[in-house]
Amino acid sequence: MPRGILRLPLVAGLTTLALGLAACGGGNIDQSSSTGASGGSGAKCGDLRIAVNPWTGYVSNAHVIGYVAKTKLGCNVTYPDVKEEVGWQGMASGSIDTIVENWGHADLVKKYIDEQKAVIDAGPSGNQGIIGWYVPPWMAEKYPDITNWENLNKYAEMFKTSESGGKGQLLDGDPSYVTNDEALVANLKLNYKVVTGGSEAALITSFRQAEKNKTPLLAYFYDPQWFFSEMKLVKVDLPKYTDGCDADAKKVACDYPPYTLNKLISTKFADSKSPAVDLIKKFTWTNDDQNAVSEMIANQNMSPEDAAKKWVEANPDKVNAWLS
């Protein structure tokens, strides 16, 4: 997920992504099943391999596109589970056709789009991305000045945990998410330690527990994100982002930029003349659209495909525009 310097998630290799009841009180997402479903012979479209990165919003994009490709175009769709950088590598090697929610990654753009010409920008997804530091609602209400980063050191003692080594804890998400948080803590001279939480599900569980038990929590989080419809997390104001303030990853001392999320396709796939190429290029929807599908997956115990099917059937005009 997001940014100019590879901001959100990077990548390693994930075989199973479980964002559900067991981890975050919602439904299950078992992404270990790369279901190669076929809507018809698949002769016209052939194979479509959509990379799946480890957060629910991405899963929503992937399965809505995949469901339309399967049922309307006859594609044989599979969903390889990969972290972000691995997805780019897969497009270059020919094992993956598309990434359907990209959060910046200037270094990967330079390598795979500008230099190798192995990947093509397929246009915006319509989603607007935001990354930042958040506290649960009860904290913002009780300590209203905590939402200004300049007051964080005053509250550092409150955020101490067994893992933060005597400093306040800043909880991060999946280890593959690439963030600026280590640099921000150092350059803003904050008495905090970044601690990795492990996943999107772990972050959500932590916010739920913190709000329920009125325990302190400062954590990295992002939008689009269905969880905001359940809990109104409050963002901490970091120094205002300006163009270029994050150019040097080691010197970053500003907030994350807003992201216009986009889609990517491999050059080989673009040249294949598959009808799925145009579908992916024309695919666009809103944060609310994505969050609606994500909420069905995470909270209503629906499979990604069933959630995609429900949304597609309820939004024929949008789907038809992608296919026109």
Domain regions of the chain by residue span: 21-129+261-323, 130-251
Q: Which residues pair with 50 in a beta bridge?
A: 98
Q: Give the pLDDT mean for 255-261.
A: 94
Least confident piece of the model among 7-21, 118-132, 220-234, 256-270: 7-21
C-beta separation of 205 from 24 below 8 A: yes
Q: How many CB atoms lie within 10 A of CB 45?
A: 24
pLDDT at 171: 97
Q: Give the pLDDT mean for 17-44.
A: 38
**CATH topology identical between 21-129+261-323 and 130-251:** yes
The CATH class of the 130-251 domain is: alpha beta
Q: Which residues pair with 135 in a beta bridge?
A: 234
Q: Please determine, for residue 8, whether its predicted confidence score (pLDDT) is greater than 80.
A: no
pLDDT at 174: 85
As a whole number of angstroms, the distance between CA 124 and CA 178 comes to 21
Q: Give the pLDDT mean for 158-174.
A: 95
pLDDT at 104: 86
In the chain the beta strands, taken as DSSP E runs, fall at 37-38, 47-49, 76-78, 98-102, 119-135, 168-172, 192-196, 219-223, 234-235, 259-266
Q: In percent, how much of the chain has pLDDT > 90?
A: 79
pLDDT at 14: 34
Segment 35-93, tens digit of pLDDT? 333 334 344 899 999 999 999 999 999 999 999 999 999 999 999 999 989 999 999 99
Q: Please determine, for residue 6, whether its predicted confidence score (pLDDT) is greater than 60.
A: no
* pLDDT band (50, 70, 90) for residue 176: confident
Q: How many CB atoms lie within 10 A of CB 247?
A: 11
* pLDDT band (50, 70, 90) for residue 19: very low
* pLDDT band (50, 70, 90) for residue 34: very low
Q: Please determine, for residue 32, whether its predicted confidence score (pLDDT) is greater than 60.
A: no
Q: Give the pLDDT mean for 255-269.
A: 96
pLDDT at 130: 94
Q: Give the pLDDT mean for 289-298.
A: 96
Fold of the CATH domain 21-129+261-323: D-Maltodextrin-Binding Protein; domain 2 (3.40.190)
Burial 71-104 (b: 16+ CB within 10 A, else e): bbbbbbbbbbbbbbbbbbbbbbeeebbbbbbbbb
Q: Please determine, for residue 216, whether its predicted confidence score (pLDDT) is greater than 50.
A: yes
Segment 117-138, tens digit of pLDDT? 999 999 999 999 999 999 999 9
Average predicted confidence (pLDDT) for the chain: 88
Higher pLDDT, 30 or 172: 172
pLDDT at 1: 56
Per-position DSSP letters for 138-201, written without gaps between them? HHHHH-GGGGBGGGGGGGGGGGB-TTTTTSEEEEE--TTB--SHHHHHHHTT-SEEEEE--SHH
Higher pLDDT, 31 or 263: 263
Q: Please determine, for residue 18, whether its predicted confidence score (pLDDT) is greater than 70.
A: no
How many residues in the chain?
A: 324
Closest CA to 304 of 26, 25, 72: 26
